[in-house]
Protein backbone atom coordinates (compact mmCIF):
# COMPACT_ATOMS: atom_id res chain seq x y z
CA UNK A 1 0.00 0.00 0.00
CA UNK A 2 1.32 3.44 -0.88
CA UNK A 3 2.44 5.42 2.15
CA UNK A 4 3.16 8.49 0.11
CA UNK A 5 1.18 9.71 -2.88
CA UNK A 6 1.75 12.73 -5.03
CA UNK A 7 -0.72 13.75 -7.70
CA UNK A 8 -0.12 16.49 -10.24
CA UNK A 9 2.00 18.57 -7.91
CA UNK A 10 3.27 21.84 -9.32
CA UNK A 11 5.26 24.64 -7.73
CA UNK A 12 5.68 28.09 -9.11
CA UNK A 13 7.90 30.73 -7.59
CA UNK A 14 6.82 34.13 -8.83
CA UNK A 15 5.74 32.72 -12.16
CA UNK A 16 8.76 30.43 -12.49
CA UNK A 17 7.78 26.77 -12.60
CA UNK A 18 10.19 24.84 -10.40
CA UNK A 19 8.15 21.61 -10.48
CA UNK A 20 5.60 20.80 -13.15
CA UNK A 21 2.85 18.22 -12.63
CA UNK A 22 4.71 15.54 -10.70
CA UNK A 23 2.85 12.35 -9.79
CA UNK A 24 4.21 9.26 -8.07
CA UNK A 25 3.42 6.86 -5.27
CA UNK A 26 5.84 5.28 -2.82
CA UNK A 27 5.24 1.97 -1.06
CA UNK A 28 5.84 1.44 2.62
CA UNK A 29 9.43 0.32 3.24
CA UNK A 30 10.73 1.47 -0.15
CA UNK A 31 13.88 3.43 -0.74
CA UNK A 32 12.80 5.88 -3.42
CA UNK A 33 15.29 8.09 -5.25
CA UNK A 34 14.63 11.51 -6.72
CA UNK A 35 17.43 12.11 -9.17
CA UNK A 36 18.22 14.99 -11.46
CA UNK A 37 20.73 17.67 -12.38
CA UNK A 38 21.09 20.96 -10.51
CA UNK A 39 17.91 22.95 -10.56
CA UNK A 40 15.76 20.00 -11.70
CA UNK A 41 13.28 20.53 -8.88
CA UNK A 42 14.35 17.79 -6.45
CA UNK A 43 14.57 19.93 -3.32
CA UNK A 44 11.33 21.68 -4.14
CA UNK A 45 9.63 18.30 -4.54
CA UNK A 46 10.98 17.01 -1.24
CA UNK A 47 10.04 20.21 0.57
CA UNK A 48 6.49 19.90 -0.73
CA UNK A 49 6.37 16.35 0.68
CA UNK A 50 7.73 17.56 4.00
CA UNK A 51 5.19 20.38 4.16
CA UNK A 52 7.85 23.09 4.02
CA UNK A 53 6.70 24.44 0.68
CA UNK A 54 3.07 24.67 -0.32
CA UNK A 55 2.30 23.34 -3.80
CA UNK A 56 0.79 25.80 -6.25
CA UNK A 57 -1.38 22.94 -7.53
CA UNK A 58 -1.86 19.24 -6.96
CA UNK A 59 -2.03 17.10 -3.86
CA UNK A 60 0.29 15.06 -1.69
CA UNK A 61 -0.55 12.59 1.07
CA UNK A 62 2.14 11.33 3.43
CA UNK A 63 1.23 8.53 5.83
CA UNK A 64 -2.39 9.65 5.65
CA UNK A 65 -1.64 13.33 6.28
CA UNK A 66 -1.55 16.37 4.07
CA UNK A 67 1.98 17.81 4.26
CA UNK A 68 2.03 20.74 6.63
CA UNK A 69 -0.48 19.23 9.04
CA UNK A 70 1.13 19.48 12.41
CA UNK A 71 0.32 15.86 13.31
CA UNK A 72 2.28 14.66 10.28
CA UNK A 73 5.51 15.76 11.92
CA UNK A 74 5.25 12.80 14.29
CA UNK A 75 5.64 10.41 11.39
CA UNK A 76 8.16 12.36 9.32
CA UNK A 77 11.91 12.91 9.54
CA UNK A 78 13.34 15.53 7.19
CA UNK A 79 17.01 16.03 6.44
CA UNK A 80 17.50 19.31 4.60
CA UNK A 81 20.21 19.68 1.96
CA UNK A 82 21.95 22.28 4.08
CA UNK A 83 21.55 21.72 7.74
CA UNK A 84 23.23 24.36 9.85
CA UNK A 85 23.23 23.13 13.43
CA UNK A 86 23.61 24.88 16.76
CA UNK A 87 27.37 25.22 16.72
CA UNK A 88 27.78 25.84 20.45
CA UNK A 89 26.04 22.63 21.51
CA UNK A 90 27.43 19.12 21.64
CA UNK A 91 25.75 16.54 19.44
CA UNK A 92 24.04 14.96 22.42
CA UNK A 93 22.77 18.29 23.81
CA UNK A 94 21.51 19.25 20.40
CA UNK A 95 19.66 15.96 19.91
CA UNK A 96 18.21 16.09 23.41
CA UNK A 97 16.94 19.57 22.63
CA UNK A 98 15.08 18.25 19.57
CA UNK A 99 13.83 15.21 21.45
CA UNK A 100 12.23 17.67 23.87
CA UNK A 101 10.58 19.54 21.01
CA UNK A 102 9.05 16.27 19.87
CA UNK A 103 8.02 15.33 23.43
CA UNK A 104 10.15 12.22 23.38
CA UNK A 105 10.47 10.97 26.99
CA UNK A 106 14.00 11.47 28.38
CA UNK A 107 14.87 7.81 28.79
CA UNK A 108 13.63 6.95 25.29
CA UNK A 109 15.49 9.94 23.86
CA UNK A 110 18.75 8.96 25.57
CA UNK A 111 18.56 5.45 24.17
CA UNK A 112 17.53 6.62 20.72
CA UNK A 113 20.31 9.21 20.54
CA UNK A 114 22.95 6.76 21.61
CA UNK A 115 21.72 4.08 19.24
CA UNK A 116 21.58 6.47 16.25
CA UNK A 117 25.03 7.89 16.94
CA UNK A 118 26.47 4.41 17.47
CA UNK A 119 25.02 3.17 14.21
CA UNK A 120 26.25 6.25 12.40
CA UNK A 121 29.63 5.71 14.09
CA UNK A 122 29.87 9.28 15.25
CA UNK A 123 33.07 9.75 17.18
CA UNK A 124 33.81 12.62 19.57
CA UNK A 125 30.14 13.15 20.25
CA UNK A 126 30.90 15.36 23.23
CA UNK A 127 32.72 17.81 20.94
CA UNK A 128 31.07 21.16 20.16
CA UNK A 129 29.22 20.85 16.86
CA UNK A 130 31.08 23.93 15.61
CA UNK A 131 34.32 21.97 15.91
CA UNK A 132 33.07 18.92 14.07
CA UNK A 133 33.98 17.94 10.51
CA UNK A 134 31.41 18.16 7.73
CA UNK A 135 30.81 14.41 7.81
CA UNK A 136 30.29 14.44 11.58
CA UNK A 137 27.83 17.32 11.29
CA UNK A 138 25.91 15.44 8.61
CA UNK A 139 25.64 12.44 10.90
CA UNK A 140 24.28 14.67 13.67
CA UNK A 141 21.73 16.06 11.23
CA UNK A 142 20.70 12.54 10.22
CA UNK A 143 20.36 11.53 13.88
CA UNK A 144 18.19 14.59 14.33
CA UNK A 145 15.88 13.46 11.51
CA UNK A 146 15.45 10.17 13.40
CA UNK A 147 14.79 11.63 16.82
CA UNK A 148 11.02 11.13 16.65
CA UNK A 149 11.42 7.59 15.24
CA UNK A 150 9.50 8.56 12.09
CA UNK A 151 7.90 6.15 9.63
CA UNK A 152 8.88 8.24 6.64
CA UNK A 153 12.30 9.77 6.09
CA UNK A 154 12.93 12.46 3.53
CA UNK A 155 16.64 12.97 2.98
CA UNK A 156 17.75 15.77 0.66
CA UNK A 157 21.21 14.90 -0.69
CA UNK A 158 22.20 12.97 2.43
CA UNK A 159 25.71 12.25 1.20
CA UNK A 160 26.43 15.49 -0.61
CA UNK A 161 30.00 16.69 -0.09
CA UNK A 162 31.02 13.73 2.06
CA UNK A 163 34.14 11.63 1.53
CA UNK A 164 33.62 8.17 -0.04
CA UNK A 165 33.85 6.30 3.26
CA UNK A 166 31.34 8.48 5.06
CA UNK A 167 29.13 8.43 1.98
CA UNK A 168 29.10 4.64 1.94
CA UNK A 169 28.30 4.63 5.58
CA UNK A 170 25.35 6.97 5.15
CA UNK A 171 24.06 5.00 2.17
CA UNK A 172 24.32 1.69 4.02
CA UNK A 173 22.55 3.25 6.97
CA UNK A 174 19.75 4.35 4.64
CA UNK A 175 19.42 0.78 3.44
CA UNK A 176 19.24 -0.50 7.00
CA UNK A 177 16.48 1.95 7.81
CA UNK A 178 14.39 0.59 4.97
CA UNK A 179 15.07 -2.98 6.08
CA UNK A 180 13.61 -1.97 9.43
CA UNK A 181 10.42 -0.94 7.64
CA UNK A 182 10.98 2.78 7.28
CA UNK A 183 10.18 4.44 4.00
CA UNK A 184 13.03 6.55 2.69
CA UNK A 185 12.80 9.16 -0.05
CA UNK A 186 16.06 10.73 -0.99
CA UNK A 187 17.54 12.94 -3.62
CA UNK A 188 21.02 12.54 -4.95
CA UNK A 189 23.46 13.56 -7.59
CA UNK A 190 25.66 10.52 -7.14
CA UNK A 191 23.89 7.98 -9.25
CA UNK A 192 26.10 5.15 -8.19
CA UNK A 193 24.62 5.35 -4.73
CA UNK A 194 21.10 5.68 -6.01
CA UNK A 195 21.71 2.61 -8.08
CA UNK A 196 22.99 0.62 -5.14
CA UNK A 197 20.22 1.46 -2.69
CA UNK A 198 17.00 2.57 -4.40
CA UNK A 199 14.10 0.26 -5.24
CA UNK A 200 12.65 2.81 -7.63
CA UNK A 201 13.54 6.26 -8.84
CA UNK A 202 12.16 9.21 -10.68
CA UNK A 203 14.57 11.16 -12.84
CA UNK A 204 13.70 14.85 -12.96
CA UNK A 205 14.88 17.39 -15.45
CA UNK A 206 13.82 20.97 -15.79
CA UNK A 207 10.98 20.57 -13.29
CA UNK A 208 9.49 17.47 -14.87
CA UNK A 209 9.74 13.75 -14.30
CA UNK A 210 11.41 12.39 -17.43
CA UNK A 211 11.88 8.75 -16.40
CA UNK A 212 10.51 6.56 -13.63
CA UNK A 213 10.39 3.03 -12.33
CA UNK A 214 12.73 0.39 -11.02
CA UNK A 215 16.24 0.62 -12.37
CA UNK A 216 15.57 -2.38 -14.60
CA UNK A 217 12.41 -0.79 -15.97
CA UNK A 218 14.22 2.45 -16.68
CA UNK A 219 17.04 0.56 -18.36
CA UNK A 220 14.58 -1.37 -20.52
CA UNK A 221 12.79 1.79 -21.54
CA UNK A 222 15.68 4.18 -21.95
CA UNK A 223 18.84 2.20 -22.23
CA UNK A 224 18.56 -1.41 -23.15
CA UNK A 225 21.28 -3.99 -23.11
CA UNK A 226 23.99 -3.85 -25.72
CA UNK A 227 25.95 -6.80 -27.03
CA UNK A 228 29.60 -6.38 -27.87
CA UNK A 229 30.68 -8.96 -30.40
CA UNK A 230 34.44 -9.32 -30.85
CA UNK A 231 35.64 -10.93 -34.06
CA UNK A 232 38.74 -11.32 -36.12
CA UNK A 233 37.59 -10.47 -39.62
CA UNK A 234 38.72 -8.36 -42.50
CA UNK A 235 37.07 -4.95 -42.21
CA UNK A 236 33.47 -4.28 -41.17
CA UNK A 237 31.77 -3.72 -44.53
CA UNK A 238 28.51 -5.58 -44.79
CA UNK A 239 28.27 -6.40 -41.08
CA UNK A 240 25.20 -4.24 -40.77
CA UNK A 241 23.35 -6.46 -43.27
CA UNK A 242 20.72 -8.84 -41.97
CA UNK A 243 19.77 -7.10 -38.73
CA UNK A 244 18.40 -3.84 -37.32
CA UNK A 245 21.14 -3.39 -34.74
CA UNK A 246 23.70 -0.66 -35.00
CA UNK A 247 27.25 -1.58 -35.78
CA UNK A 248 30.08 0.36 -34.22
CA UNK A 249 33.45 -0.97 -34.95
CA UNK A 250 36.49 -0.51 -32.95
CA UNK A 251 39.70 -2.55 -32.83
CA UNK A 252 40.73 -3.76 -29.38
CA UNK A 253 44.24 -4.49 -28.13
CA UNK A 254 44.11 -8.11 -29.37
CA UNK A 255 43.36 -7.00 -32.92
CA UNK A 256 39.69 -8.10 -32.76
CA UNK A 257 37.06 -5.81 -34.17
CA UNK A 258 34.26 -4.95 -31.71
CA UNK A 259 30.72 -4.71 -33.03
CA UNK A 260 28.16 -3.09 -30.77
CA UNK A 261 24.59 -4.24 -31.45
CA UNK A 262 21.28 -4.01 -29.69
CA UNK A 263 19.82 -7.53 -29.82
CA UNK A 264 20.58 -11.21 -30.19
CA UNK A 265 19.30 -11.33 -33.79
CA UNK A 266 21.99 -8.82 -34.66
CA UNK A 267 24.56 -10.93 -32.82
CA UNK A 268 23.55 -13.98 -34.89
CA UNK A 269 23.62 -12.00 -38.11
CA UNK A 270 27.11 -10.74 -37.37
CA UNK A 271 28.29 -14.20 -36.45
CA UNK A 272 27.02 -15.56 -39.79
CA UNK A 273 28.65 -12.74 -41.75
CA UNK A 274 31.94 -13.15 -39.92
CA UNK A 275 31.98 -16.92 -40.48
CA UNK A 276 31.03 -16.51 -44.15
CA UNK A 277 34.17 -14.38 -44.48
CA UNK A 278 36.37 -16.95 -42.79
CA UNK A 279 36.57 -14.76 -39.70
CA UNK A 280 36.03 -15.90 -36.12
CA UNK A 281 33.93 -14.54 -33.26
CA UNK A 282 36.31 -14.40 -30.30
CA UNK A 283 34.02 -13.05 -27.58
CA UNK A 284 30.50 -11.78 -26.90
CA UNK A 285 29.86 -9.51 -23.93
CA UNK A 286 26.65 -8.10 -22.55
CA UNK A 287 26.80 -4.47 -21.49
CA UNK A 288 24.08 -2.99 -19.31
CA UNK A 289 24.02 0.79 -19.19
CA UNK A 290 24.51 2.35 -15.77
CA UNK A 291 21.91 4.69 -14.38
CA UNK A 292 24.43 7.41 -15.08
CA UNK A 293 24.46 6.58 -18.81
CA UNK A 294 20.67 6.74 -18.87
CA UNK A 295 20.62 9.86 -16.79
CA UNK A 296 22.94 11.59 -19.25
CA UNK A 297 20.69 10.45 -22.07
CA UNK A 298 17.38 11.58 -20.57
CA UNK A 299 18.59 14.66 -18.73
CA UNK A 300 21.47 15.70 -20.93
CA UNK A 301 21.53 18.55 -23.32
CA UNK A 302 19.05 20.77 -21.51
CA UNK A 303 20.01 24.03 -19.96
CA UNK A 304 18.73 24.10 -16.40
CA UNK A 305 16.01 26.67 -15.99
CA UNK A 306 15.55 27.06 -19.74
CA UNK A 307 12.05 28.02 -20.85
CA UNK A 308 10.54 27.60 -17.43
CA UNK A 309 9.16 31.06 -16.89
CA UNK A 310 5.44 31.11 -17.02
CA UNK A 311 3.62 34.15 -18.10
CA UNK A 312 0.65 33.64 -15.83
CA UNK A 313 0.94 37.06 -14.26
CA UNK A 314 -0.43 36.05 -10.88
CA UNK A 315 2.92 35.45 -9.15
CA UNK A 316 2.74 33.12 -6.25
CA UNK A 317 2.13 35.26 -3.23
CA UNK A 318 1.81 32.04 -1.30
CA UNK A 319 3.24 31.52 2.09
CA UNK A 320 4.95 28.38 3.13
CA UNK A 321 5.66 27.33 6.62
CA UNK A 322 8.07 25.01 8.29
CA UNK A 323 5.94 22.89 10.52
CA UNK A 324 8.59 20.91 12.34
CA UNK A 325 9.14 23.37 15.02
CA UNK A 326 11.30 25.73 13.02
CA UNK A 327 14.91 25.83 14.02
CA UNK A 328 18.05 27.14 12.51
CA UNK A 329 17.58 25.03 9.41
CA UNK A 330 15.56 27.63 7.66
CA UNK A 331 15.69 28.26 3.99
CA UNK A 332 16.53 31.83 3.27
CA UNK A 333 14.66 31.83 -0.03
CA UNK A 334 12.49 34.86 -0.42
CA UNK A 335 9.14 33.19 -0.83
CA UNK A 336 9.29 31.00 2.20
CA UNK A 337 7.96 32.04 5.55
CA UNK A 338 9.35 30.29 8.55
CA UNK A 339 7.24 29.81 11.60
CA UNK A 340 8.94 29.30 14.92
CA UNK A 341 7.78 26.69 17.34
Ligand X SMILES: Nc1ncnc2c1ncn2[C@@H]1O[C@H](COP(=O)(O)OP(=O)(O)OP(=O)(O)O)[C@@H](O)[C@H]1O
Smallest separation, CB 191 to ligand X (Å): 13
Q: Which of these segments, 36-44, 177-185, 216-224, 233-241, binds ligand X (CB under 6 A)?
A: 36-44
22 is a contact residue toward ligand X (CB under 6 A) = no
CB 34 within 8 A of CB 42: yes
Q: Which of residues 272-331 bind ligand X (CB under 6 A)?
A: 305
Select 64 or 315, whichever has its Cβ closest to ligand X. 315
39 is a contact residue toward ligand X (CB under 6 A) = yes
225 is a contact residue toward ligand X (CB under 6 A) = no
Burial class (CB in 10 A: 0-12, 13-18, 19+), 263: middle
56 is a contact residue toward ligand X (CB under 6 A) = no
80 is a contact residue toward ligand X (CB under 6 A) = no
Q: How far apart are CA 101 and CA 326, in angstroms?
A: 10
22, 33, 43, 68: which one binds ligand X (CB under 6 A): 43
Smallest separation, CB 16 to ligand X (Å): 6
Smallest separation, CB 332 to ligand X (Å): 9
38 is a contact residue toward ligand X (CB under 6 A) = yes
48 is a contact residue toward ligand X (CB under 6 A) = no
4, 22, 31, 36: which one binds ligand X (CB under 6 A): 36
Select 60 or 281, whichever has its Cβ closest to ligand X. 60
59 is a contact residue toward ligand X (CB under 6 A) = no
Question: Which chain residues interact with ligand X by CB under 6 A?
Answer: 13, 16, 18, 36, 38-44, 81, 305, 333-336
Amino acid sequence: MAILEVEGVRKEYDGFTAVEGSSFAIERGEVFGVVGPNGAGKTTTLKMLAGLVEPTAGTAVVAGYTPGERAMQRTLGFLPEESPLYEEMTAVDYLEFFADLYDVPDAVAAERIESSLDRLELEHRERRIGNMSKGMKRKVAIARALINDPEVLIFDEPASGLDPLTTNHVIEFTEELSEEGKTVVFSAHNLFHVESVCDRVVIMNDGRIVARGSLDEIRDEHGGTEYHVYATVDGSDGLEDGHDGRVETDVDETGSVRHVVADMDAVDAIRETVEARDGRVTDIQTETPSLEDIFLEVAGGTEPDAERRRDDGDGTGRSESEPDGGDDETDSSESERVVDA
